[in-house]
A and B are shown apart, each in its own frame.
Chain A
Amino acid sequence: MTGDKEIIAGCIKGRQAAQRQLFEKYSRLLLGICSRYAQDLEEAEDILQEGFVKIFLNIKDFKGDGSLMAWMRRIMVNTAITNYHKMRKHRYHDDLEEVSELKFEDHTWGEADFTGEELLKVIRQMPEGYRLVFGLYAMEGFKHREIAEILDIDENTSKSQYSRARRWLQERLIKLKEGEDTSR
């Protein structure tokens, strides 16, 4: 497989072979990323498709001064956020209301406690607002102020939502682990 530089050059020229190569090389990783922001595989693939279209239409704007993967990743996350906004329009958004921060006894985990699939499955069940805030903070490394910008919420809301999200996630995982421990 050719290096990223060649692939990018080909994509800028609109060459299908290069576009295909880019897709083959990165789609699996990118779909993994999209999955963390989606409720199920179908939604994740919608985000992936949308994101790839954006990538191909705008690849000439990739400066090359960062990694291609990071750039594409941002586009995917961005698309996921767009998708969220689109969804949010059609339901009342009480999942992102500002609430007082909750204290939660932090739990520690072992590496072997869960597989990636199990974690992803639980994340898919997260309420959408939680999932997004959690992903943006824990996985993408955005600060709460940035998340507030991205999601059009208050910075405090972002913090409290994050707190709630991690509590939700940990409670779910604790329950899952207990279920597995008692099964015979």
Chain B
Amino acid sequence: MNERMNIEELVRSKLEGQEIAPSRGTWSRILRRVRRGQFMRFDPGRFNVYYAAGILVAGAGLIALIQTGPREAQTEEGSPGRTPVPREHTAPPPAESGIIQVQPDTGDPSLREVAPPAAAEEGKPAAVSPEATEEAPGATPGNGTTGAKQPGIGREQALPEDADRKEPVHNTLVAFFTPSVTSGCAPLTVQFFNQSVNHLSVTWRVGTATPVTGENPEHTFTTPGRHHVTMTAMGEGGQTASFSQVIEVYPVPTADFIIEEGLPDSEGQPTYSLINCSTGAGSYQWNLLGEDKTELKGWSSDAFNPDLPVTPSERQASHIRLVAVNEYGCSQTAVRELPGPPDAGVPELIFPTAFSPSTTGPAGGLYSPHEKRNDVFHPLFDTEPLEYRLRIYSRRGVLVFESMDIYRGWDGYYLQERAAAGVYVWMAEGTWQSGEEFRMQGDVTLIWSDGR
């Protein structure tokens, strides 16, 4: 159902028949005034008299207006385009409206003007008759209530009712404000500039928060979403007016990542892979930062999980920075320190204190890198040494085993025979990649699995 219509049709279709419930107390206020009005009705000196008369005139005139339309021939002088509608009776029966009768006596020019020469046929110069009112449906109520001057008409008159009304003159209140920004990433600080006219005070309300007073308050929005800001202005004579605006706060992504060490490269230098843990983002930008946190040239990436290849430039980097950006253009940055180079740690060989060789015969004692074998006496280590020698002696000083290959340990046999169970002494020596020499020694207990 989306047929297009113009603005008039839209407004009519939406507002025609719209119902709004009056607030409490409206009826009783009306009732009071009606009672007062009915009582006052016969007092010629009161304003209400003229007011009611004016409205009689206006109301009936408007009805006539609708019914006849302005296109009927202009027959009356001084009657701009309106044809008097003949009616059965003119003024209300005298019994009920001393109103009408007193009018000529007051010499009130306003009501005289209401009765144009055209209506003189009625024989009542001040006839507040329906016919007479057609030419001034709006002017009359204007005359009846605005009092002394109406701009632009030149009908200056001082109606007696003005003296009685004693209503204060109020400057009309207009509520308006301008925010410094209407949208942005969280947290968003907005300053609201009050631009109301004729206000005495203003109150601001943001969502359900406690109202704030002040001319140009500032507010920081931390929650993403659309926020309604309403300003209520108070003016003279109890006037109030409100104005609302919507501030849109965009969410911000979280940027986070893990640096995972990969295997060292051929030169033993560290490599890293980057695991992205960001949320709420659509694009990423990785950069290297130097010691002073400035961006380094060289490597950068916009991949989700990039690898960080290690080149001389990367070796200068102390930090990695990730900027995660979402579809609103809001971003968050995460910076992590690169782990230190591995030579900060001391390489080492770890030898077991006991082992239990196989009883099936000499196996050779070979094992694979990172393999841990209980039936071969061998060291555990992270990085291979450059040079290596392992010697094992019995308690009586007999050399039972020697190896220059770190991947060949002792299988527990000497001269093809099972070595005796018991404690042996081992000595390991060599040099690391860095050139550093090492020498270690310790005890190891040989235990045969069959107990012999």
Contact = CB atoms under 8 A, between A and B. Distances in A.
Interface of A: 14, 16, 19-20, 23, 27-29, 31-32, 35-36, 39-42, 44-45, 48-49, 52-54, 56-58, 60-61, 63, 66, 70-71, 74-75, 77-79, 81-82, 85-91, 93, 106-116, 119-120, 123, 125, 128, 134, 138-139, 141, 143, 145-146, 149-153, 166, 169-170, 173, 179, 183
Pick the 6 closest A-B CB pairs, nearest first. A150-B138, A108-B4, A28-B19, A32-B18, A74-B62, A110-B2
Given A27-B26, A114-B10, A32 B1 contact: no
Contact of B7 (A42, A109, A146): A109
Interface residues of B, number: 79
A57 B38 contact: yes
5 contacts: A27-B21, A42-B239, A120-B18, A150-B137, A169-B11
A152 B18 contact: no
B91 to A, nearest CB: 10
B94 interface: no
B451 interface: no
Given A78-B137, A149-B137, A29 B22 contact: no
Contact of A53 (B1, B6, B30, B172): B30
A139 B21 contact: no
Contact of A90 (B21, B145, B171): B171
Nearest to B37: A57
Contacts, number: 221
Nearest to A108: B4
Contacts of B19: 28-29, 31-32
Interface in B13-61: 13-23, 26-27, 29-31, 33-34, 37-38, 41, 48, 51-52, 55-56, 58-60
A32 B26 contact: no
Contacts of A166: 7-8
Nearest to A111: B1
B346 interface: no
Given A27-B22, A170-B7, A146 B70 contact: yes
B15 A66 contact: no
B241 A40 contact: yes
Given A27-B27, A45-B22, A119-B10, 12 more contacts: A53-B34, A57-B41, A81-B142, A90-B171, A91-B172, A110-B5, A116-B15, A119-B11, A120-B15, A125-B243, A146-B65, A146-B137
A53 B135 contact: no
Contacts of B31: 16, 19-20
Contacts of B169: 90
A28 B21 contact: yes
Contact of A115 (B3, B14, B137): B14
Contacts of B301: none
Contacts of B80: 149
Contact of B15 (A32, A78, A87, A170): A32
Contacts of A123: 11, 15
B146 interface: yes
B56 A109 contact: no
B16 A139 contact: yes
Interface in B181-206: none
A119 B80 CA distance: 35
Nearest to A73: B62
Given A119-B15, A149-B139, A40 B242 contact: yes
B78 to A, nearest CB: 13
A21 B34 CA distance: 15
A178 to B, nearest CB: 12
A91 B3 contact: no
A35 B20 contact: yes
Contact of B146 (A70, A86, A112, A151): A86
B21, B62, B136, B138 interface centre (most CB from chain A within 10 Å): B138
Given A90-B172, A120-B15, A57 B52 contact: yes
Nearest to B251: A184
A145 B55 contact: no
Contacts of A149: 80, 135-139
A85 B59 CA distance: 17
Nearest to B96: A60
Interface in B150-170: 150-153, 169-170
A145 B4 contact: no
